[in-house]
Amino acid sequence: MPQNSETKSLPWGLTPGAFAAWAAALLGLACILLTPVFPWLVKWPAALTLPMTDWIGSVVGWFLSVLKPAARLFSAGLGYPMLWANWLLTATPWPLVIGVVTAIGWYLGGLRMAALGLGGLSFVLASGYWIESMNTLALVAVSVPLALMAGLSIGILAYEFPRVKKPVQGLLDVMQTVPTFAYLTPLLFLFGFGPVVGLIASAIYAAPPMARNVLLGLERVEDDIKDAAVMSGGTRRQQLFLIEIPAAATQIMVGVNQCLMAALSMVIIAAVIGGFNDIGWEVLLTMRKAQFGQSFLAGLVIVVFAMVIDRMSGALAMERRRYDLRVIGLLMAVALLFTLLMGSSLPNPSDYAAFDPTAAVVDRALGDFTAEYGLALDQLKNTILFYVMLPLRIGLDNAVLPFTWGFMWTPAMSMIFLAVAATGGVALFLTGRRVAGAVLLLLAVTVETGVAELPWAFVIGGAGLVGWVSGGRKLALFAASMLALILVSGLWDRALLSLYLSGVSVLACTAVGGATGLLCAVSPAAWRVVRPICDMLQTIPLFVFLIPVLMFFQIGEFSAFLAICAYAVVPMIRYTRHGLINTPEEMLEAAVSSGATGWQIMREVRAPYAVPTILLGLNQTILYAFSMLVIAALIGTTGLGQSIYLALGKGDVGLGLGAGAAMAILALVADRLVQGFAEEKRRALGL
């Protein structure tokens, strides 16, 4: 919320929210009415477009050629540990690898973890993807220590020098929001061809969560511990490494866990470059043939790895009891004995194919389903396209046609529509619902023109106003100037298309995910069903889902929309449920003792209290939706995602980085706006 000095000067005693909403709505209305006279309000004149992608290309190109020798040395150096890890994992007989993982499981979490390790790796073995999986594991085994070290140093740096904290956090945001495909070309140029590039890409993506958790952990070390460290003497370095970092160990371990998961999720990206016969390559090959069953199976192998690694490294972050070390000895002895006894008759792990029949059945079932329900699916798609997606994209004035809605939209109808909306808005304003009135008008303006054809002045001005409400003048300036950068770069049209697609998806995710989260908060049984689905959606390579979505709904926006939703809905579900069930006991008791019923408690106590958490979920959903845009481009969407692929194919560094940066800007602006509101709500609730 802006400072008091700003609010005081507002006319008619408007709250900042109502003021900004009305200002934006009137700006939008003015833009629409003036567009016929001044067409440059919608279309930014080409003469004022700066060739920014070319500039980026030449500046970065120069930098790259300067850095190249050093980078090549680095990548040659990394090649060795990669080779060793690979050799160690593939040359070791598989019973030994399974034995070691089971033993680690026992050490970390007793029988349950041991069973998880044994079961998980047995699944991998039986699937026939053992060699590919070990190659993948080798990649993760080298990239994760790299990311951990980078993350630890960045975190300590930001903690020790508060002045660099802000820029460092900005850098971490950029590392996580610029899509990897956008910088693959420069990475290939710098580090040469092969698995090392995939390794570095995954380290870049996996380091930020580690850095964030290190910083958070160090900041949370209690003052008396720090004081004790100061009083016992010792240099600053000793205090840091001997006292403060160990004290922050639990939080740092959370970072390790997140880092591992992020590295694993990048496996598929490494496969796009190639140079490595890993499980991601297998997913790509089967996806190319549209074999859903087989690519799902290969995807499941990655899910199993993610589960084993997640649970085991998660155990690291918790206090745990000691388990009998003799069991480890026993496990190792059994594995060794088994290997020696089998000797050369040990079956080749690639010969297993236990699930191939299942995969074929799944594949067949997908085909049959498509054949059986094809018409119904088409109808569903058409309904949503005609009545929701097309109007939002190109506006009522273009989407309402005789063969979609049954009649033709005329300019007169536009005028009537806007006039009715304006009257409604004013009526709401006069009856006291001031913000609601403006929102009605805003929606009307957006639906009438369509997101892809919104006047730029309205988008930039609106974002600035929302920023002002959410975080004051600074945020307003940030949001408006960042978007203006996209405008003059010439990527504006594509950015609006991306904004539209991710916007529709976020809307749908908010509705569906919020409802599902609510259901899961009320019913533990529902959560038991939903939770594993959420886990799977988050770890399986998303490429796998493109096949069924395409089979059902063909190439087009609707398929892309569904693919994005499948991934982005998860945080909304998780955070909504989490927020709703974690209401402090004393608040609940007070409500119960005043005689509130179950639903009243939900509406009056739990829901308001959960708002900051739900907003955080919304924030994550937005970021996820943007990160899926690139994958959705494989279906055949236009917008920034497609530009990134085009740039990758052409080896155009400037276009790739420019489009990647534009996408990161959209994501970051949305992120900052939502976080501003969440922060304000939290303060209002006294959290």
User: What is d(CA 89, CA 137) in angstroms, rounded to the nearest whole number?
Assistant: 8
Contacts for 414-421 with beta carbons within 8 Å, 24 or more apart?
A: 414/448, 417/444, 417/448, 418/29, 418/32, 418/444, 418/445, 418/448, 421/445
Q: Which is nearer to other proteins, 16 or 275 (CB)?
A: 275
User: What is d(CA 39, CA 36) in angstroms, rounded to the nearest whole number?
Assistant: 6
Q: Which is nearer to other proteins, 240 or 646 (CB)?
A: 646
From 352, 405, 417, 645, residue interacting with other proteins (rule: CB under 8 A)? 645
From 127, 502, 505, 642, residue interacting with other proteins (rule: CB under 8 A)? 642
Helical residues (DSSP H) of 161-244, grouped into ranges: 162-177, 184-191, 195-219, 223-231, 236-238
Q: Which is nearer to other proteins, 153 or 277 (CB)?
A: 277
357 binds other proteins (CB under 8 A): no
Compute the least distance from the CB of residue 627 to other proteins, in Å.
Answer: 16
Compute the least distance from the CB of residue 558 to other proteins, in Å.
Answer: 8
192 binds other proteins (CB under 8 A): yes
Q: Which is nearer to other proteins, 323 or 645 (CB)?
A: 645
Q: Which of 674, 682, 677, 563 is nearest to 618 (CA)?
A: 674
62 binds other proteins (CB under 8 A): no
- Torsional sign, CA 672, 673, 678, 683: positive
Site string for other proteins, 160-189 (x = CB under 8 A): ------------------------xx--xx
What Rg, from alpha-carbon coordinates, does the chain have? 27
Compute the least distance from the CB of residue 34 to other proteins, in Å.
Answer: 31
From 442, 452, 518, 633, residue interacting with other proteins (rule: CB under 8 A)? 633
Q: Which is nearer to other proteins, 271 or 312 (CB)?
A: 271
Q: Which is nearer to other proteins, 172 or 184 (CB)?
A: 184
61 binds other proteins (CB under 8 A): no
Compute the least distance from the CB of residue 304 to other proteins, in Å.
Answer: 23
Q: Which is nearer to other proteins, 463 or 635 (CB)?
A: 635
User: What is d(CA 300, CA 120) in angstroms, rounded to the nearest whole number?
Assistant: 11
First-residue to last-residue Cα distance in the chain: 16
296-335 binders of other proteins (CB under 8 A) = none
Q: Which stretch binds other proteins (CB under 8 A): 27-35, 191-199, 409-417, 596-604?
A: 191-199
User: What is d(CA 130, CA 621) in angstroms, rounded to the nearest whole number?
Assistant: 34
Q: Which is nearer to other proteins, 327 or 646 (CB)?
A: 646
Site string for other proteins, 648-687 (x = CB under 8 A): xxxxx-----------------------------------
Compute the least distance from the CB of residue 124 to other proteins, in Å.
Answer: 19
Q: Which is nearer to other proteins, 159 or 553 (CB)?
A: 553
User: What is d(CA 15, CA 21) in angstroms, rounded to the nearest whole number?
Assistant: 10
Question: Cα 29 from chain centroid?
Answer: 34
User: What is d(CA 650, CA 656) in angstroms, rounded to the nearest whole number?
Assistant: 10
636 binds other proteins (CB under 8 A): yes
408 binds other proteins (CB under 8 A): no
Q: Which is nearer to other proteins, 627 or 642 (CB)?
A: 642
Find out whether 557 and 383 touch, Cβ atoms under 8 Å.
no
133 binds other proteins (CB under 8 A): no
289 binds other proteins (CB under 8 A): yes
* Residue with tokens 């929701």, as numbered in its chain: 388
508-567 binders of other proteins (CB under 8 A) = 543, 546-547, 550-552, 554-557
368 binds other proteins (CB under 8 A): yes
290 binds other proteins (CB under 8 A): yes
Rounded to 5 degrees, what angle do the CA atoms 596, 527, 509 make?
A: 90
Using alpha carbons, list the distances in angstroms from residue 445 to 258, 366, 509: 42, 41, 23
**Contacts with 347 (C-beta within 8 Å, 6 or more apart), sequence order:** none
Q: Which is nearer to other proteins, 257 or 502 (CB)?
A: 502
User: What is d(CA 396, CA 417) in angstroms, rounded to the nearest whole number?
Assistant: 10
Site string for other proteins, 239-278 (x = CB under 8 A): ---------------------------------xxxxxx-
Contacts for 2-10 with beta carbons within 8 Å, 24 or more apart?
A: 2/468, 2/469, 2/472, 2/473, 3/472, 6/472, 6/473
Q: Which is nearer to other proteins, 368 or 604 (CB)?
A: 368
- Would you tell me how many other CB atoms lie within 10 Å of the CB of residue 407? 10
| φ, ψ for residue 605, nearest 5 deg | -110, -60
Q: Which of 100, 61, 601 is nearest to 308 (CA)?
A: 100
The footprint of other proteins on this chain (CB under 8 A) covers a number of residues equal to 57
| List of residues contacting other proteins (CB under 8 A) | 184-185, 188-189, 192-194, 272-277, 281, 284-285, 287-290, 367-368, 370-371, 374, 381-382, 385-386, 390, 401, 403-404, 543, 546-547, 550-552, 554-557, 632-637, 642, 645-646, 648-652
